[in-house]
Amino acid sequence: MGFDQYHEPADELPEATRTFARLCASLTEEAEAIGWYEQRLALERDAEARAVMRDAQGEEFKHFAMDLEFLLRRTPLWREIAQGILFQEGDIVEHGEQAEEEAVEGAGARGEPLPGSTSLGIGSLREAP
């Protein structure tokens, strides 16, 4: 049995980090499956087989989206950056740069915990202007 989703010793990781790692591994697997179906569909000539694979790929789209939503809910900074990029018209790279800058600056101003910190994450409690 493999536990490849853990990069660090699993027994030293907090439960929440282990869950996070499992969902990251699941997200990767769904993305791989989507890519595989895409390749198979590009070559398959049998219409019935194509219909089956198209349906299966749809399942993977759903799984990928659910995994991603879970991870974004648990990672506010990731969510904030993603909100600036996903489902936006225009230049993807430009949106990415802008979303990252705004989200990181915003996180700093709110006093969000440093990566790996086990603090209570209270930071600043000022109301947004």
Partner 1 sequence: MNHLLRGQAPITDAGWRRIDEEARERLEPALAARKLVDFSGPHGWQHSATNLGRTEPVAGAPQGGISARRRRVLPLVEMRAPFAIVRAELDDADRGAEDPDFGELDRAVARLAEAENRAVFHGWESAGITGIAEASTHDAIPLGDDCERYPRHVSKAVEALLEAGIGGPYGVALGPTAYGRVLETAEHGGYPLFEHLRKILGGPLVWAPGVEGAVVLSVRGGDFLFDSGDDISVGYDHHDADAVHLYVQESFSFRLATPEAAVHLSP
With contacts defined by CB under 8 A, name the span among 69-77, 80-88, 98-106, 108-116 that binds partner 1: 108-116
Minimum Å distance from CB 1 to partner 1?
Answer: 22
Residue among 74, 71, 61 nearest 25 (CA): 71
Minimum Å distance from CB 50 to partner 1?
Answer: 46
Tokens 């194509």 belong to 50
Straight-line distance from the first to the last Cα atom of the chain, in angstroms, rounded to the nearest whole number: 53
Cβ proximity of 22 and 74 under 8 Å = no
Return d(Cα 19, Cα 26) in angstroms, integer. 11
Cβ proximity of 121 and 112 under 8 Å = yes
Interaction between residue 9 and partner 1 (CB under 8 A): no
Among 12, 46, 48, 89, binds partner 1 (CB under 8 A): 12
Q: By rule CB under 8 A, what count of residues binds partner 1?
A: 20
Return d(Cα 11, Cα 14) in angstroms, integer. 8
With contacts defined by CB under 8 A, name the span among 32-40, 43-51, 57-65, 105-113 that binds partner 1: 105-113
Interaction between residue 42 and partner 1 (CB under 8 A): no
Residues binding partner 1 (CB under 8 A): 12, 14-16, 109, 111, 113-114, 116-127
